[in-house]
Structure formats: structure tokens, C-alpha cells
């Protein structure tokens, strides 16, 4: 019974008194920001792996917004607060998944492209966009790309994780 309550189409959801966090495993690219930043809440070694009582709500929202995909999204339990979400709340479900708050159209924008500069890491771009590099010219539909910012990837222009080996810090 409890298990069914925690399901939604495509994943699971978790709540505390303030917010609900949606977990959609198929969308995860294992950027690992969630558990590196907040193991008290996102612990892959525990079941359930998300415990929204492990940290303050503000901090949980901050870390969910770091997720470069929509594997983790969130909303306020108070539906009135889900309208007019500011643009820095990039993983609020209004950005991509308004159906989860029962809205037909996003309150923020219509599937906006998000460009995320990850901390000491790549730039991650998500959405519908045209992507030109070398002699390639591609239309990306609901695409996601992760591009090198440290200059040391061996798979340019894409990130291959080298930034961590060289200790890249963009100051």
C-alpha cells in the first residue's frame, strides 16, 4: 500500500511537510551531484534511497536544482506556491513536467532550454536545440549534452570526466 502511494508514472516520489521530490530513474545520467552534495537525503546505499527528513527543505531544493536532467524534480505541496516559480528553480516540475501539478501549460515557460554550469565541471544543456560542432549540425529533440569546460577532455567537445582527475576549479 505504502509502496503504491509512492509511485508515479515513470518513477517514485518522496515528500516531507513542505515539498515532494520526484525520482525518475530512466532520466538519470549519474552526474552524482545529489549524493555528493547531500548524502543525508540521497543515499544510494539505503532503501528507500531518498529521505526528505534528512536535511532542511531549502537545502534539498538547492541540491535537486543541481541535477542536470529531470531525474530529480520537485514541487511545493502547497499548490498555490507552484505558480510563478523563478528561473533559478530549474528542477521545479513546472519547467518540464507541469502535468504533475495538474497544469496543461508550464507556468514558467514552454519547455525552456536549460544551460547548467556545473560546479567545477561541464556545461550541461537540455531541451530542444540546434547543436553545431566541427562539421556536425544536429537538431536535438529533448536532448542532453555535457560539454567540456576544463579544456582537458580527450573526447572534445564533450565532457569525459577528466576535470575531476586534474582538479579543475573555475575561479
In the complex, the residues that contact another protein under the rule CB under 8 A are 65-66, 86-88, 90, 109, 112-120, 123, 125, 127-134, 145, 147-152, 157, 168, 170-171
- C-beta of 98: minimal distance to another protein in Å? 16
Instruction: Give 77 or 128: the residue with its C-beta nearer to another protein.
Output: 128
Instruction: Give 48 or 58: the residue with its C-beta nearer to another protein.
Output: 58
Instruction: Give 2 or 88: the residue with its C-beta nearer to another protein.
Output: 88
CA distance linking residue 112 with residue 88, whole number of Å: 12
- The sign of the CA dihedral 100, 93, 77, 16 is positive
CB 42, CB 50: distance < 8 Å: yes
Helix (H) or strand (E) run with residue 125 in it = strand 123-133
CA distance linking residue 109 with residue 111, whole number of Å: 6
- C-beta of 161: minimal distance to another protein in Å? 14
Amino acid at each position: 500500500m505504502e509502496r503504491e502511494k509512492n509511485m508515479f508514472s515513470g518513477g517514485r516520489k518522496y515528500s516531507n511537510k513542505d515539498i515532494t521530490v520526484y525520482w525518475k530513474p530512466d532520466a538519470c545520467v549519474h552526474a552524482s551531484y545529489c549524493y555528493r552534495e547531500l548524502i543525508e537525503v540521497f543515499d544510494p546505499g539505503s532503501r528507500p534511497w531518498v529521505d526528505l527528513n534528512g536535511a532542511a527543505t531549502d537545502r534539498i531544493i538547492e541540491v535537486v536544482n543541481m541535477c542536470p536532467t529531470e531525474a530529480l524534480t520537485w514541487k511545493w505541496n502547497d499548490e498555490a506556491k507552484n505558480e510563478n516559480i523563478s528561473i533559478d528553480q530549474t528542477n521545479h516540475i513546472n519547467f518540464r513536467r507541469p502535468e504533475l501539478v495538474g497544469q496543461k501549460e508550464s507556468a514558467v515557460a514552454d519547455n525552456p532550454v536549460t544551460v547548467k554550469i556545473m560546479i567545477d565541471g561541464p556545461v550541461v544543456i537540455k531541451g530542444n536545440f540546434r547543436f553545431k560542432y566541427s562539421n556536425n549540425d544536429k537538431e536535438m529533440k529533448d536532448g542532453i549534452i555535457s560539454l567540456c569546460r576544463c579544456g582537458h577532455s580527450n573526447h572534445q567537445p564533450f565532457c569525459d570526466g577528466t576535470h575531476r582527475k586534474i582538479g579543475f576549479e573555475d575561479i
